[in-house]
A and B are shown apart, each in its own frame.
Chain A
Amino acid sequence: MISARPFRKLPALIAAALLMLTSAAIAGDHLLPEDPALSDENDFDGILYGVFKDLYTPDYPARMIAVQSFQREFAVALHVKDGRYSIVLLDPPTMLWGYQVLADDIRQRDQDLAAGRDARADVKEIADLEVGMPSPDWRTVKPARCERPIDAALGAQLVEDWRAMLLQTRFAQPEPVASESVFVDGDILHFSTWGGGMAGQITTPSNDGGDKTNLLIAIGFAMRDYCKTGDAKQRATIVQAAADLAARLKQDG
């Protein structure tokens, strides 16, 4: 198993995944737009989508993918069919970030070989990574699935909370300066809904994250915990946070 996110690779990815991460780190009380698919650089987004793609159908109107430092990623979503709502959790058996690092190492090995450089260190890194993986191909990763019903009123509230928060997605508006960024470690949460193709992200802890984003994050994590345990306290947390978020959104008009 990969025990920790190998951040030594981050400099090589600074023009890729970190474009998204650094943007996400500056959000206020709203989500930020996702990294555009027009870029060829968002490999990790593609891995996340590939592993969790079962949740990308019209019967999942609210979903959150959590990318946490040193922990396995997971996706939690609201499922609705024939008016019945449930929470679905997809929990992969391994840290998906390892596949991004593996792809980066393979790319580096190929570049070294093409340039006639010594690639033995790359080959060893690749072998070490693959030993800790259930399979060297992320496409074969099968996340564990859990599903737990919730009542329609709560389900409808969550759909509306997601929709309202995603409609508020926008860029931050700081004063620009002439200097380069430095990435600060953090967890990234990707929120999306089916209707309208809306998606937004935020990094936590955000520098000035507000009540609404914190409530949305809390709902996502409580959904995961409730799906896993069925604990009534977790369900109560979802209900309370969903109601609080709706109230805050109503204040915004």
Chain B
Amino acid sequence: MLKQTVLCAALLCAATARAAPPGCPMRDHLVPEGSVFAMGDDSYLKWGYDKAFAPFLQTDVMVRMIAAPAFSDRYAVGLRETSGGYTVFGLSLGRAGKPSVHCEAAIAKPLGQSLVAAWRVVLLGTRFSDDVAMGLDGIEVHFSMRENFEQPPGQMQTQFLYGQVWTPNRGSPPDRLLGLADDLQNYCVTHDRAGLPGIAKAAVALARSH
């Protein structure tokens, strides 16, 4: 999948006659997901999608991340709101597309809210860029969430936020969110609560970074 992504990026570079070097601005922020209207034929846009990830795309999932590292299993982590707090759930997909890890773990409401806020801050920074990131390997990451709001007063609206990044620059908002999601996935698998204070601290810091 990633090779195809690189091919796609190479084609984009050919089209724009511009390739970004490592650490380029594009990898400091998320870019909009590929759409039919942007790229035409959508068949290649669904490489990363596997039916096993369908539960992560349901509307009851508050925030989610689907990641595709170049040389290891694809994985996903999501957050659902429950009556008392939030539930983290995760999935790893082996080479044959079979789930290798399936996990679920509860977290407290304040931590869940901080994580949602962190996701939102990073997703609101989604934009296109003049530069195109490309490389031979790395990680392709997709973040998304939904939110409801009132605008104008009395009129309820729903907004769906989506964004992707390829191998984010170290310390950039997408990189920090990827780190948070990986820590969540780890907690989901191990249920080791010792890491939760660190996750909470990182989530609050990221949420306040905007």
Contact = CB atoms under 8 A, between A and B. Distances in A.
Interface of A: 15, 19-20, 22-23, 25-26, 33-40, 42, 45-46, 48-49, 53, 56, 58, 65, 166-182, 184, 190, 192, 194-201, 207
Interface in B103-156: 120, 123-124, 126-130, 132, 142, 144, 147-152, 155-156
Nearest to A184: B155
Contacts of A33: 32-33, 35, 126, 162
B151 A34 contact: no
Contact of A37 (B35, B123, B147, B156): B35
Contact of B33 (A36, A58, A173): A36
- Is chain A's binding surface mostly helix, strand, loop or mixed? loop
Nearest to B162: A36
Query: Chain B: interface residue count, which band?
Result: 35 or more
Given A169-B128, A180-B156, A192 B37 contact: yes
B96 interface: no
A175 B123 CA distance: 14
Contact of B159 (A23, A40, A45, A169): A23
A113 to B, nearest CB: 24
Contact of A181 (B33, B49, B156): B156
B159 A199 contact: no
B156 A53 contact: no
Contact of A45 (B32, B35, B59): B35
A49 B161 CA distance: 22
Contact of B34 (A37, A170, A195, A207): A37
Contact of A190 (B37, B45, B148, B150): B37
A195 B39 CA distance: 10
21 contacts: A20-B160, A33-B33, A34-B35, A36-B45, A37-B42, A38-B46, A38-B48, A38-B162, A42-B36, A45-B35, A49-B42, A53-B40, A166-B128, A167-B127, A167-B130, A171-B123, A172-B159, A174-B157, A176-B147, A176-B148, A199-B32
